[in-house]
Amino acid sequence: MRVSELAQRTGVSAHRLRRYEDQGLIHAERSGSGYREFSERTVREVVFISMSRDLGFSLQQIADALPRYRSGTLTVDEMVHSMRERIAEVDAVITEHRALRKKLVSHIGWVEKRRREAGQRKPSTTPAPWPRSRKAAR
């Protein structure tokens, strides 16, 4: 099947499928006219890659697991273990972000207290962000 059919059957864009091929995650034969021709088993592999990406696994982690997935030696227990490790990573990021949020709220209180002590009033309009937020900088 060609890349457009593979994209339609898996819900993964043709651009992304070409990228997966360039990175060696999936393989295609070339037809006499130069078109990529993917085997039927590639559908299953792309679904595995796509689901793994949706769960936040890196392309390198997926590349490491793919040979065992293809050969049928990647067990359910190993996949569950990997997902539990991923949950722990996500939990660590959440904890880090909660601590950062708490620090930001604390700093707002500190700055507002200093303003009150100095007798300054709140501005009537919303000031420009300082320093510029990452979103505004983009």
Q: Encode pLDDT of 2-52 as tens digits.
A: 999 999 999 999 999 999 999 999 999 988 888 889 999 999 999 999 999
Here the tokens at position 20 are: 């997966």
63-121, pLDDT tens digit by residue?
A: 999 999 999 999 999 999 999 999 999 999 999 999 999 999 999 999 999 988 888 66
Predicted structure pTM score = 0.74
Look at residue 118 in the predicted model and tell me its pLDDT: 85
Q: Say yes or no to pLDDT of 127 above 80.
A: no
User: How far are the Cα atoms of 43, 60, 75, 83 from residue 24, in angstroms, in the given order?
Assistant: 15, 11, 22, 23
